[in-house]
Amino acid sequence: MSDADSRTPVEEGWHQQDILAAIRKKGATVSSLNRDNGFRPGVLRTVFYKRWPGGQRIIADFLQVPVEELWPHWYGPGGTLKPLQGATRGRAA
Cα–Cα distance, 47 to 28 (Å, whole number)? 16
| Residue 86: per-residue pLDDT | 72
| Residue 6: per-residue pLDDT | 44
- The whole-number average pLDDT for the span 47-76 is 96
Neighbouring-strand partners of residue 81? 75
Span 64-80, pLDDT tens digits: 999 999 999 999 999 99
How many Cα atoms occupy the beta-carbon half-sphere of 56 within 13 Å? 23
Q: How far is CA 68 from the centre of its chain?
A: 8
pLDDT above 90: percentage of residues in the chain: 75
Residue 32 — very low, low, confident or very high, per pLDDT cuts 50/70/90?
A: very high
